[in-house]
Chain A
Amino acid sequence: MFHKAKTSTCWALPRPPSLRALSRKSVLVAVCLVAPLVPMQLMGAEWSERAWRTDQSKDSVLLVLAAASLADVLPRIGDEWERTGGLSLAFSFAATSRLAVQAAQSGSGDVFFSADPEWIQWLEERGAVSPGRAVHFAANDLVIVVSVDTPVPVHPGMLSGFERIALAGENVPAGRYAREALEKAGVWTELDGSIVTGGSVRGALEWVARGEVPVGIVYRTDAEAEPSVRIAFVFEEPEYRQAEYWAVPLASTEHDQLSADFVNFVLGDSGQAILRAEGFAPSRPTVNDGTGQNLSGGGTGDDLAASFSSAIRLSLIVAFLATLVGLVPAVGLGWLLARRDFPGKAVLSTVVMAPLVIPPVVTGFLLLSVLGASTPLGGLLASLGFPVPFTILGASIAALVVGLPLYVISVRGAFEAVDPMYEELSRTLGSSPWSTFFRISLPLALPGIAAGAVLAFARSLGEFGATVVLAGNVEGSTRTIALAVYTLLESPSGREAIWVLVGASVAISLLALLGFETLSRRQKRRLEDRYAR
């Protein structure tokens, strides 16, 4: 759908949903295009959508907020709708949970296509949708997928044999359905520790396709379109509940009739034909009775406090690890770049600085390509007992790589500020270059190096994009503050609770920057060898 310029935003991580059919290289390029949108999403989507609407309002477009698993099929129905004279459409695909919170918060959007009736009901309770207007237009099966080279048959009872199982996020419909199915199969409690959750269902599928996670639970339609995975088990009716897709015009729309028309078009013959061709089950008359598992509101107060302190603790551990491990490379590289001329210096400098300008999501993708469990290096590390993906090690590596440029810039600046004549003098006094480094260069640059460490620490705390791709969003081992905030954004009651983490995040970051400022000043003072005259 990327060829359609009006497809506004695509929130799915780590990989935009519609890109599956394309090559890995074009995925990379596309991720570059999408990644800059991520921070916007964290700030709340209001702004982006308002801006978008101001641009587009002249020629009237229907903004369709739709579940990520519809990213392939809905634009096709849209083409058909436009061909028959319908109003132009613009799509925003993301996890249903995220879109619902976004629609309720921003009061924008025209039509909502949900992968889950619960979220429609949630919107009804908030007045964002008129009661009773939602219609059920398609269904989807949940399936267990394994990578194509897994030879054994797999069924729910065997899942406990896998080290990791990829699911969509806990409030994302595919994640909720999967949990429900696993509870029904009676295996949920024993799997609890091995579940890793991505953002949308496509994220979970991507992990299985790349071989990072051996097994996952996703929608049948997504699994069928991904050549790198094999469907091992289908959670079939009537034993298991199907995923239900519902559509409804939003209360915020200025085109209520047209929105309803589009919903009816999807329900109509041509819409249904396209859905069926894509592997969706047909709609059947159902009343949204609100049955099924209730949305997880974020748990009890105690749970929340525990998960908050876990996120804060993890963030600090990850940031400390990244800062500590980064010290030697940062000092080495900073000194090298400040003091030595050598062939390839520009190349080295560029490579080190690259994570500063490359979108962190892309950095994460590249790291996953190098350190993922299916790569030689990642495999070696895993066999030595240091698996990288979905571990605190992975989160620290992501934070380190993304923070290193700031680290190196500061250290390099600190060394450059030291008059080379001090080093020359030291050498004429009998100190070898090595000894001169430790007796002169390092002590003189020390406050600046410390300032760089503080800056890298602050950057590590804020790291999100590379972490979510490389290390996932696993509570207790990789869900840092930034990821916890991101997770809460899609939780129904998340927005109130979020402020605790936002406060912690802002406070720690500002303290770190204050430290940076103080240390930078000290660096300047340290080099004053005489009174200013």
Chain B
Amino acid sequence: MPADADFRLNLDLKISITSGGLRLELDTKSSRIAVVGPSGSGKSTMLRILAGVERRADGIVVVKENCWQDSSNGTWVPSWNRRVGWVPQESLLFPHLTVRQNLSYGGALPDWVSETAALLQIQDLLDRRPRRLSGGERQRVALGRALLSKPRLLLLDEPFSALDRPLRAELSQLVSDWAFERYVPIVLVSHDDEDAKWLAEERWHLGEGGLRKE
């Protein structure tokens, strides 16, 4: 798979969240990485750091030569300027908005919303409220919302966990193609090797010893 040659993801972070502390060191040129590891190892935290919603971390984050965080000189790009498509594990949808409003939250035009909804097979759900969706439907809407925010980086946290296997494969392929066409790199976090297999070209394991390339 041809990688985006310009992509560089460089993590050098110290995080003080648990008493033991968590240290993440990652340096890669791959545009598709998967981070696997047991739950509680800090995978989600790593995505939150990349998304810019976790400030209790010291270190450096550089993405595509853009420095998002450098604690040594106080650099901090706020999350609303990072343009990441973050799909958190809980697939949170804004409960007071319809599916359509959720999808266009990042400013997407109606045509584009319809197109992406069709792609994700949620075009019939557009006027529903989130509480009337199944788990799988919710995941697809959350994914669609991230794709529609014109991300420079996709951050996927167990994005397909609520889907059954055939659909999971189909959707992984779809996201993979979508990202490839637009040169959008992906950081995927999963405890499931399947997802990693579909979406990543480089696998990292996060365990007690920190991040390690497999």
Contact = CB atoms under 8 A, between A and B. Distances in A.
B79 interface: yes
A20 B55 CA distance: 58
A428 B138 contact: no
A interface secondary structure, majority: helix
Given A529-B93, A529-B95, A424 B79 contact: yes
Contacts of A152: none
Interface string A403-435: 000000000000000010110111111111100
B131 A444 contact: no
A429 B92 contact: no
B63 to A, nearest CB: 14
Contacts of B79: 424, 427-428
Interface in B77-96: 78-80, 82-86, 88, 90, 92-96
A432 B145 CA distance: 17
Contacts of B132: 531
A443 interface: yes
Task: Tell me which of B80, B85, B138, B149 has the highest count of chain A C-beta atoms within 10 A of its own C-beta.
Answer: B80
Nearest to A429: B106
B94 A431 contact: no
A432 B138 contact: no
A419 B94 CA distance: 10
Nearest to B149: A429
Given A419-B92, A425-B86, A425-B92, A530 B149 contact: no
B105 A429 contact: yes
Interface in B53-80: 53, 78-80
A508 B80 CA distance: 46
Contacts of B133: 530
B107 interface: yes
Interface string A427-452: 11111110010011001100000000
A527 interface: yes
B130 interface: yes
A24 to B, nearest CB: 48
Interface of A: 419, 421-422, 424-433, 436, 439-440, 443-444, 526-531
Given A424-B53, A429-B145, 7 more contacts: A425-B92, A425-B94, A428-B53, A429-B105, A429-B106, A527-B95, A529-B131
Interface of B: 48, 51-53, 78-80, 82-86, 88, 90, 92-96, 105-107, 130-133, 138, 145, 149
